A and B are shown apart, each in its own frame.
Chain A
Amino acid sequence: MTVPVLELSAIRAGYGRIDVLHGIDIALHAGDVFALLGPNGAGKSTTLAVACGAIVPSSGSLFLCGRDVTGCATDAVARAGVCLIPEGRGIFPNLTVGENLRMATFTGARYRDVVDRAFTQFPRLGERRRQTAGTLSGGEQQMLAMARALATDPAVLLIDELSMGLAPIIVEELYEHVRSIAASGLSILIVEQFAHEILGIADRAGIMLHGRLMHSGPPSSIADELAGAYLGGER
């Protein structure tokens, strides 16, 4: 088997002295889509924060293509090809759409390529090129966040709750885009609450509870566990 593109190994991490994650192991291979599901406060977002270098784990290691990059700065990890679309809108609200895309050129891409690619993929953004990003609708903002992330030509895409605060129909549209991105061979680690949408796209999925990865495997094996984890009944 090849070396995973992104690997979290026995990660314990948290905020200050408080550990939120208690030993997380995730290996993401090239072209994989891994869905991380689970209720709030389970530690999903923290896992992504560790994966993009924003939080240095208190123990365990982060590997990129087999290289230990634990403790590296966020911008260094970003330039190495790991891109996070954070929870809430991952955009700069007071910058225009064009300027937001300009921010994607730090990883070496040319501005023209970035814009071309973004506007062919999301034509709606092209129409609003000079508009301030904060005045876009929620769905458009998420599209901009995705366009900005993809423009950097990342090897790994980390997506945190794409659906948050959006109407189901828009979420569906966004996931169509995710599906096409996944088809292009990008490795994606995605955190979600709208489980059924994502399970159709993911190659593998895991359920997080209380800072631990409880179940993980192909989506079909996960689906049955889900309702229990979310709406309860048994522990």
Chain B
Amino acid sequence: MSLLSVDEVAVQFGGLLAVDGASLSVEAGAVTGLIGPNGAGKTTLFNVITGLQAPTRGRVLLGGADITRKRPYRRARLGIARTFQRLEAFGSLTARDNVRVALEMRRRWATASYDPVAVADSLLERVGIAGVAGTQVNSLPTGTARLVELARALATEPKVLLLDEPSSGLDEAETDALGALVRQLAAQGLGVLLVEHDMPLVMDTCSYINVLDFGRVIAEGTPAQIQADPSVQRAYLGTARSAP
């Protein structure tokens, strides 16, 4: 049984089918990729999984249990965490306090062995931005703020982590570090669903990739299979008359 599975989900906005019967699953301990051209419905699918958007039909299962009707904050407490494509950090809080908000939702009571500030700082260190713990997020560059979002997501102690284009705004070295971190998180048993446009990162990190186009999964497979798939080339480049 998959950790998270999306079953025939469709989302309709007025006359537009943003997601059209997409199914995919995320396994624990692995990084699953979700790629596709602009407007393919990736972010909408993320919103469905986290409960920010109700699907027109279809189900979302976490560990086999149907969570389609659960409210977003319940899902978060059940172990679904995410980052956002358009930055949604708490801008007027410091990086440390961003993480603390999430930590404090997880544990209501402090104990002698549990110091939230120290935990927050260690999480920031884990994503590699311990140096900006005391800085207000509004004044951080986008890439760094995205890492704050990542640390915040980790603070909810998730089972599934949804990352929506985490590498945008990062330079190459930072992107490499991010890739290493994502793999490491998966190795610790987390299920990661990664939406990303930086293909080297996707190909290096993911063990399995779903390609979304027009709200449908048009291809799935290992990175090598995906790179060779002509339908993927078509989705990205149009009708491939002179495909390399």
Contact = CB atoms under 8 A, between A and B. Distances in A.
**CB–CB under 8 A between A and B in the complex?**
yes
Given A41-B197, A196-B237, 13 more contacts: A40-B38, A134-B14, A161-B39, A168-B234, A171-B238, A193-B37, A194-B238, A195-B237, A199-B242, A227-B243, A231-B232, A233-B200, A235-B172
Contacts of A161: 38-39
A180 interface: no
20 contacts: A18-B142, A39-B199, A40-B168, A134-B14, A164-B38, A164-B39, A168-B239, A193-B238, A195-B238, A196-B237, A196-B241, A196-B242, A223-B244, A226-B237, A227-B237, A227-B244, A230-B199, A231-B199, A232-B199, A233-B200
Contact of A135 (B15, B138, B168, B243): B15
Give the one of B14, B138, B236, B241 with max A CB within 10 A. Answer: B236
Contacts of B241: 196
Interface of B: 14-16, 37-39, 138-139, 141-142, 165, 168-169, 171-172, 197-203, 214, 227, 232-234, 236-244
Contacts of B15: 135
Interface in A39-54: 39-41
Nearest to A230: B236
Nearest to A167: B214
Contacts, number: 85
Contact of B197 (A16, A40, A194, A195): A40
Rank and list the top 3 A-B pairs by shortest CB-CB distance, nearest first: A232-B199, A194-B238, A41-B168
A41 B232 CA distance: 20
Contact of A18 (B37, B169, B199, B234): B169
A41 B165 contact: yes
A234 B244 CA distance: 15
Contacts of A135: 15
Interface in A176-226: 193-197, 199, 210, 223-224, 226
B197 A39 contact: yes
A27 B213 CA distance: 34
B169 A165 contact: no
A26 to B, nearest CB: 21
A217 to B, nearest CB: 16
A172 interface: yes
Contact of B200 (A17, A194, A232): A232
B238 A196 contact: yes
A235 B204 CA distance: 12
A231 B38 contact: no
A223 B203 CA distance: 21
Contact of A165 (B39, B138, B142, B201): B39
A233 B244 contact: no
Contacts of A233: 199-200, 203, 227
A167 B40 CA distance: 11
A227 B233 contact: yes
Nearest to A136: B15
A101 to B, nearest CB: 22
Contacts of B232: 231
A234 B169 contact: no
